[in-house]
A = this chain, B = another copy of it.
Amino acid sequence: MIKIYKTTTRKDWPDLVKRPVLETKDLNNLIVDIFKKIKEEGDEAIRFFTKKFDNVQLQELEISEEEWQTGIAKVPTNLKEAIQLANQNIARFHSAQAVKPKIITTTPGVECWQESRPIERIGIYIPGGTAPLFSTVLMLATPAKIAGCQEVILCTPPDENGQINPAILYAARLTGITRIFKIGGAQAIAALSIGTLSVPKVYKIFGPGNQYVTSAKTHAQQLGIGIDMPAGPSELLVLADETANPAFVASDLLSQAEHGTDSQVICVSNKIEILQKIKTEIEKQLPLLPRKKIAQTALSFSKLVLIQSKEESIEFINEYAPEHFILCAKDEDFYLKNLKNAGSVFIGNYTPESAGDYASGTNHTLPTNQFAKNYSGVNLDAFVKKITFQKITQSGLKNIGNAIELMAAAEGLQAHKNAVSIRLKNNS
């Protein structure tokens, strides 16, 4: 069960912020082999791995329009409406992230600007298994559509009957995904990275996955394919002072803990009574959960931490750099102002983390494992490249030409200097 840490000093922080260390196998050789076989044998290799790992013999790797329609028909109307509402909010929030180009005159006659252009072809991976993550389809395909990506390819493993979960098919159709392939695991990442007769090569791959998928994405990155971010188990930190509702906080901690046995939850409070009440609430709510075994294991890695001062609390939070940060405190502004590192922030008693997982509009693909110190969650930027433009007039080049000549000469690059000199001469 989750433990309370009453007397902590900064010396303890490195241990407290440490994530559970996973026993990861070194999959490198296996992944290299999968990439090699798919490069050499293409679709045949994909069928081979799908038989081997998913135990399904496929002829067609791609979903047909008929399968798509049949699947969509199976999704209950109320779930369709819920997905539509969530997707509308995701679309509103991500559309607002578009930035209009501004032309900047850095020196008279020298105009510079930056424009976003979509990445032409992207791949989305959605894992199979117990939870059909159709919400992740919304989080990745909708921003891709808003960004203007022309082709959005989805790979997801088939079930034992060679089928894809209907809600995934519905979410994919709603968000404008162009093609779906029944391919899972490292072989999906390899196919998207290399391209085969059936599967188009993409320029960037998004989406969660197990350690095979993660390892394959790292390998794809070394081949020059972009990836969304490094992966790690999900996590939540709650800051709860005396204004927090302990039952609500407990429900949030449990919602994170049910993700996987390697999930981690932390609660920081300035009041021991609050931490005790939260612990009692966790013990009350846990037994009712279908995934209580998973949550229980995750809670054994988790911590309720007493920190008295606001200043130390925010320092601790910045050091932890949580993927999800719930803030239930009187002095919200202090924490928001001083927050340096987090993936997404949930403010107040009525903002559960599951709102961001599904329907508030923010993205749920977020940096874990302290990566919030240097990575953003997925946002509109992830689907575009920013290209810079400059246009210089004859007189503009007169204004900056001499500086360029001096600097190029000092760096020993005479041809760089000449490209300016030849124009300045023509100019006089």
Contact = CB atoms under 8 A, between A and B. Distances in A.
Contact of A341 (B86, B361, B385, B408): B385
Kindly list the 5 A-B residue pairs having the minimum CB-CB distance in the complex, ordered from nearest.
Answer: A106-B361, A89-B106, A82-B403, A203-B374, A352-B419
12 contacts: A81-B403, A85-B400, A86-B400, A86-B404, A99-B99, A119-B374, A224-B369, A255-B419, A290-B414, A350-B393, A350-B394, A351-B390
A407 B86 contact: yes
A341 B110 CA distance: 23
A85 B132 CA distance: 56
A233 interface: no
A416 interface: yes
A344 B387 contact: yes
Contact of A387 (B224, B343, B354): B343
A97 to B, nearest CB: 6
Interface stretch (A37-45, A60-68, A271-279, A376-384): A376-384
B355 A392 contact: yes
A198 interface: no
B360 A392 contact: yes
A393 B118 CA distance: 35
Contacts of A414: 258, 289-291
B114 A411 contact: no
Contact of A258 (B86, B218, B415): B415
B388 A423 contact: no
A331 to B, nearest CB: 15
Interface stretch (A2-10, A178-186, A244-252): A244-252
Given A355-B397, A372-B385, A258 B413 contact: yes
Given A204-B374, A376-B385, A390 B248 contact: no
B374 A255 contact: no
Contacts of A426: 245, 248
A377 B373 contact: no
A360 B112 contact: yes
A392 to B, nearest CB: 4
A140 interface: no
A348 interface: yes
A339 interface: yes
A273 B411 CA distance: 34
A235 interface: no
Q: Taking each of A254, A390, A391, which has the highest tally of chain B beta carbons within 10 Å of its own beta carbon?
A: A390
Contact of A106 (B360, B373, B394): B360
A225 to B, nearest CB: 7
A195 B143 CA distance: 37
Interface residues of A, number: 130
Number of copies: 2
Contact of A392 (B339, B350, B396, B410): B350
A150 to B, nearest CB: 9
Contacts of A400: 85-86, 89, 355, 359-360
B392 A388 contact: no
A131 B415 CA distance: 13
A134 interface: yes
A169 to B, nearest CB: 13
B390 A345 contact: yes
A357 B131 CA distance: 50
A403 B134 contact: no
B345 A79 contact: no
Given A86-B404, A252-B419, 7 more contacts: A92-B104, A255-B419, A289-B418, A295-B415, A344-B387, A375-B385, A379-B386
B346 A390 contact: yes
Contact of A403 (B130, B358, B416): B358
